[in-house]
Amino acid sequence: MSIHVTVNGQARDVDVPPGSSLLSLLRDDLGLTGAHYGCGHGACGACYVLVDRKAVPACVTVVEHAAGKEIVTIEGLARGEVLHPGPAGFPRRGRHAVRRLHQRHGHFRCGAAGAGAAGGELDTA
* Domain map (residue ranges) of the chain: 2-121
What is the assigned CATH class of domain 2-121?
alpha beta
pLDDT of residue 63: 96
Interatomic CA distance for residues 111 and 115, integer angstroms: 8
- CA-closest candidate to residue 46, choices 34, 36, 54: 36
What proportion of the chain, given as a percentage, has pLDDT over 90?
42
**What average pLDDT score do residues 86-103 get?**
49
pLDDT in tens, 20-41: 999 999 999 999 998 889 889 9
